[in-house]
Structure 1
Amino acid sequence: MTHSGRWTTRSSTPKYTNPWISVREDAVVRPDGGEGVYGVVTMRNPAVFVVAMTDEDEVLMVSLYRYPTQAMSLEVPAGGSDGENLLLAAQRELVEETGYTAREWREIGRMNALNGVCDAPEHVFLATGLQAPASVEDAERAAREQKAEGISAVRAVPWRDLTRLVADGEITDGETLAALMFAAATLGRL
């Protein structure tokens, strides 16, 4: 008996939904012909990731507590698009999480997080020509957003230090690692 190497969905049952995700359980036929159950998490809107480069060849990164892992994480600014234009979402996330704006923007990659269990499209942007908050009000607004998201620090990490931070286990977020790889490829640093 031969099989196509593909999965077949026999039925799909919604299990949970909120404004950000939905979870379903599918009755499936596996590529080997056996039957099983597959749980799938679907993000309602694509996410955006921002590799923000300073003129000094540093990457702006945020330190924040991640509830699912119960640990601090060093990451590039990121977040949900909330259904808005992806570039506008990336620009909003950079301001909210760091207080900075950027003069130049470029989409440099697309990826899928945890594609073994999730349907979670993600878009990576490179931001350059960074500018610090323009006013005290802008800085205060960014500080409020950072507090709301659990961001404890914004760091400008020299590009040359990124590999060491990965090797030392300080950068462990898979999406940040992938976003930095897209930046490395775009900047010719592989």
Structure 2
Amino acid sequence: MSAWQTRTSRTVYANAWIEVREDAVTRPDGGEGVYGVVRLRHPAVFVVPVTDDDEVVLVEVDRYPTGRRSLEVPAGGSDGQDPVEAGRRELAEETGLVANTWQDLGEVHSLNGVCDAPGRVLLARGLRPGAATGQAEEGIVATHRLPWARVLDLVADGTITDNESIAALMRAAIALGRVR
């Protein structure tokens, strides 16, 4: 049970993907305030594709909100699909790859101080070529295959800054015994 109490709530913006609401709240200390919350309409999926040569496939994305390019795991909204089905779709759209095996590595929550944005981390293995269909629409400018050691270096040196990708990579690295 939360120590926060919602007194009133109103939606200030909504589209097919997100809802933004403003809540009048009573804080845990008893004071009153306003809390803005962004809620994703469907959970996200974060796919960590690993090749038979133990390379991680990442996408380089031109991100509109930050005005910067970002190195990330393939990801996107589930659109109400089963997480693995959504992961298959996102992997194919963003990388042109198809995976033979899928492992659900668990739930994550993004920006949980201001968002209700649940997601699932999925490990995809047994990769083979398919057809990339959504790269231009998604702002994907390149796909990279990098050894695990290099990926961990890119997280450590701050090249990979997307928190969702960092969390997904950490979950996968632990599951595969790359870090302890």
Q: Summarize deviations over 1:98-120 as a string: whole Å, max 9, x none.
A: 00001001101210000000000
Task: Give TM-score scaled by structure 1 length.
Answer: 0.91
> How many percent of aligned residue pairs carry the same amino acid?
58
Where is the helix percentage greater, Structure 1 or Structure 2? 1
Aligned to 1:120: 117
Decide which structure has the larger Cα Rg and report it. Answer: 1
Count of aligned residue pairs for this structure pair: 179
Tell me: CA distance 1:167–1:25, structure 2 relative to 1, closer, same or farther (3 Å): same
Q: Summarize deviations over 1:128-161 as a string: whole Å, max 9, x none.
A: 000012xxxx3xxx1x410111100000011011
Which of 154, 163, 168 is the aligned partner of 1:179? 168
Aligned to 2:140: 151
For the pair 1:80 / 2:77, whether they are aligned, the reply is yes
Aligned to 1:19: 16
Q: Alignment partner of 1:106: what SS?
A: strand
For 1:161-176, what aligned pairs fall within 5 Å after superposition?
Answer: 161-176=150-165
Aligned to 2:41: 44
Distance in 2 (CA, whole Å) between partners of 1:121 and 1:154 is 25
| Alignment gaps of 5+ in structure 2 | none
Aligned to 2:66: 69
Instruction: Check conservation: 1:50, 1:77, Cα contact below 8 A.
Output: yes
| Alignment gaps of 5+ in structure 1 | none
For 1:24-35, what aligned pairs fall within 5 Å after superposition?
Answer: 24-35=21-32
Q: Alignment partner of 1:95: what SS?
A: helix
For 1:95-106, what aligned pairs fall within 5 Å after superposition?
Answer: 95-106=92-103
Task: Give TM-score scaled by structure 2 length.
Answer: 0.96
CA RMSD after TM alignment: 1.2
